[in-house]
Structure formats: structure tokens, C-alpha cells
Structure 1
């Protein structure tokens, strides 16, 4: 075979593989229309989806324009897809009577999915203390897991941020404030609801989180008796 022909053949094969790789990448990020019944909420999703005025405005927008921004989801082992980003849009679409939604499907492990889910929701303006508390806790654990895997496979160059420092760096709170928010996850649900409802201020709530459940229940009963 002439030398020039060999080069052409190799170049053609290389182009074929490059094109196939590119096609697979595009397919992974391609927006698909997924039936709404095949979309399931993220496990232990910390952000509440409320039927409030904001949701009503979202429903009206969906009814008029449809869902303009695609959801992000990942395949579930048991079938269907787990929503990573877009729980409010999915609920609004349900209320608006849509049958399917635009979705970008990604293959993601648990920790990567948690980080994307938390970061995409923390950008919202109005976040309840309980939502921020559980979101920070989930992100902290995911970063710790990723850090543990990284330490096994790579050498650390330069000073290493702790997981709590990284959460704080990527949020609007200090490391100390992140840890104080996470303390709220130790409150019994009734007390945590009162924090969200601004019946208990943040600082006293953090102090209450150091009490065990029985002591918290006693405090709650004493509060109810005084009302």
C-alpha cells in the first residue's frame, strides 16, 4: 500500500473514532423529553417544594410558555430518573398538566449528584434555615467522601482546605456559620419548624441543638404551656 494511502486510512479511522466520541458526548448532554411520571425527587431532598405564591407564578409561566430550562436528572437503578436540579419546575409542570418535561440526563455518582443538587438550589434568594442546614450537611458529607477517595489516589500539593472550609468558600457563610447551621439538623422537627417560622431565633436554636431529644421535647412542652 502506498505510504500516502496508509496515512489517509489512519486519519480516516481516527476521524471516525473522534466523531463517535463527540456523538456520544452530545448524546449524554442532549435534552430529552421525559414523561413526567418517570421523574422522581432526589433522595432526602432538603429543599421544600411549596404551593405558595411563587409556585403559582411558576405554574402560570409554565402554562403560557412551557418549561424553558431543562431539568437535570440521572438514571435510577430501579427505573425512571432521579431529579438533581428542577424539582420546582417538575411540580409546576404537574400542576399545569404537562405530560413530559425537557431533561438533560447525566450519569453521576451519589456525591457528584449531591453537590450539583445543593449548589443549584443554594442560588435561590429565599432559603429556609432548615433547608440550608440539611443542604450544608449533605454537601459536607459529599465533599468528605470525595476527599477520602482523592487522598487515596493523588498527592496533595499545597495547603488542603477542609470540607467545611470548602462549603463556606462556595457559600455566603463563614466556616463557623456553616457548622452552626448544620447543628440545626439535631433539632427535633417541631423545633426546627419553629426556626423556619421565626418563632425561635437562630442563635438560641443552635444552643437548643446541643440538648438531647428528651430535653428538647421538655423545652417544646414548656413553650406550648406558656402560649
Structure 2
């Protein structure tokens, strides 16, 4: 005969004697002091950590006051922790001679970690084009993955805004148009050498976008043509390079011919340094005032020539 008595689950000793407050406290995130050696950089981290002046200032602040805002990390299956946010603070702590830094450890999947990593860096005042390009690409991919998992249409994300695509949500979050988001992401198709030139402002954004459509081997040849002609492509030149590439006619010789052209802007522009002009003006004159004075003198000279011609 089967017993009708139900199984009774006995609470553990810890559950019996713990309070609701202590149980809630156990679930709260805690700030841990973790050795710097156990914190590893985020995989494919797109933001550059440089030992520049700003980094030295941060190191000085940490040396004096410590790290005021904890980093965020997640457990690394291979040991230690993977940094999600706080790469610059980690490096500054090393420079400051610290052994540990405060960290909040969270269990995050790849997409959650990527979004936090990107968001914590996009708020910086100055971002290089390459940093913005890879950050937008990584976050958009993560947002699309989240939408797919939630069985949402149109690449919607977890906030379930009806009719919103992840690219539209991202555009609103970062204050860019959706088209500009994709133009930045397109820069990730450039080879590293060309992308570095974009970061260094040797190649402007719009020509760089056009060059991103060249095949990788064509981009390598373009570096050769730029070096031999000591020139970087203008927008119109980049557009022609893209056109010839898509038609299958782009060769190294053609690149050299295009890069060897004199640009209209170079023909129309005359540049004087302030040192050249300074000897013709009082020391109290600012560059703006020197420019205004030169324009007035040229106008007077032009009127005088016109009067002589009319006689």
C-alpha cells in the first residue's frame, strides 16, 4: 500500500538561521580586490590603451587616491578574470605601482560582456575612427544575437521596442544616423596600415570609406602607389579607384597614375607660414589681423590695376 504522505523538504541549517537581510546581502554584487596579474584584457578589445599624457595623469591620481570606480570583469574559464570595463584603470594601476585593483565580478555571456565593454568606452570624449568602427561592429553583432535569442523580428533587441531594428536603436544611443553607423563599420574592411592612416588623419574619413571597397591585395598595392608618389587619395581619386576595382580594371600602374595627379586643391592653394609673414607686420598683430590686412591690400592692388587698365 502506497503511502499518501508527501515528501517534506527540510531546510538547511544555514537557511534556518540566516535572515532575509543576510540572504539578500549574499546576492548583492561585491567589490573585490583582485591582483592585476589575474585580470586579462577582453578578447578583440577595440579601444587602444596608450601611455600618453592622460594615462600618466590617471596613474598619478591612482597613486594618490587609488581606483575610485571599480572595474567590471567576468570569470575566465582558463583562470583569472577577463576585464570587461576598466582596461585604462588597469594599466594606470600598473604604472602607479599597485598590485591589485577593485573589481566587480559578474557572470556575463559574450554578448552582454561586449555591450558593457563598448558602452563603457563610447562615452569617452575623443575616439579614433578605428575604435568607433570596431566598437559599433561588435555592439551591433551582440545586439543582433540578443534579438535572435529572444525570437524577435527585424533584429530587435531585448528592450522589445516594436518596429525598432538594432541598428536604429544603436544609432539613437550613440547620436549618429544609421547610415553613418554602417559607414564607420565599413572602415573595418581596411587593412591595418590604411586604417592607421585614417586614425592619424593622413586619410580623411570619406576617401577611407571608398577605399574600404578595394580588395585586400589592391589595398596593399595602393600603399605602394602612395609611397612611390608621396600622396594620399582625395575623395574623387578614391571614388575612381573603387570604380576601377569593381570593374576589374584596377592595376598598380593605374594606381600610380591616379596618385601622381596634381590635386585641384593643391593648385588653388598658396600657404604662408606665420613666420614668413611676421616680419612684415607689427608684433602686436594676430594671425587673423594679418590675414585681414593682406586681403585689404590685395583688394586695393586689384582696384588700382583695374583703374590703370581702364585708362
| Range into which the TM-score falls when normalised by the shorter chain | 0.7 to 0.9
1:9 is matched with: none
In the alignment, the residues of structure 2 paired with residue 19 and residue 69 of structure 1 have an alpha-carbon distance, to the nearest angstrom, of 26
Per-residue CA shift, 1:90-128, capped at 9, x if unaligned? 000011110110011111111000000000100000100
Query: RMSD of the TM alignment (CA)?
Result: 2.2
1:199 to 189, 199, 202: 202
**Aligned pair in 2 of structure 1 residues 56, 150: CA closer, same or farther (>3 Å)?**
same
In the alignment, the residues of structure 2 paired with residue 157 and residue 106 of structure 1 have an alpha-carbon distance, to the nearest angstrom, of 24
1:162 is matched with: 165
- Give the total of aligned pairs: 212
Deviating more after overlay: 86-95 vs 156-165: 156-165
In the alignment, the residues of structure 2 paired with residue 169 and residue 38 of structure 1 have an alpha-carbon distance, to the nearest angstrom, of 36
1:46 is matched with: 46
In the alignment, the residues of structure 1 paired with residue 147 and residue 196 of structure 2 have an alpha-carbon distance, to the nearest angstrom, of 33
TM-score, with structure 1 as normaliser: 0.88
1:210 is matched with: 213
2:26 is matched with: 24
Where structure 2 has 5 or more consecutive residues not aligned to the other structure, the ranges are: 1-14, 153-158, 231-311
Larger Rg: 2
Q: Which has the higher contact order (CA 8 A, sep 6+)?
A: 1
1:85 is matched with: 85
By how many angstroms is 1:141 displaced?
0.5
TM-score, with structure 2 as normaliser: 0.65
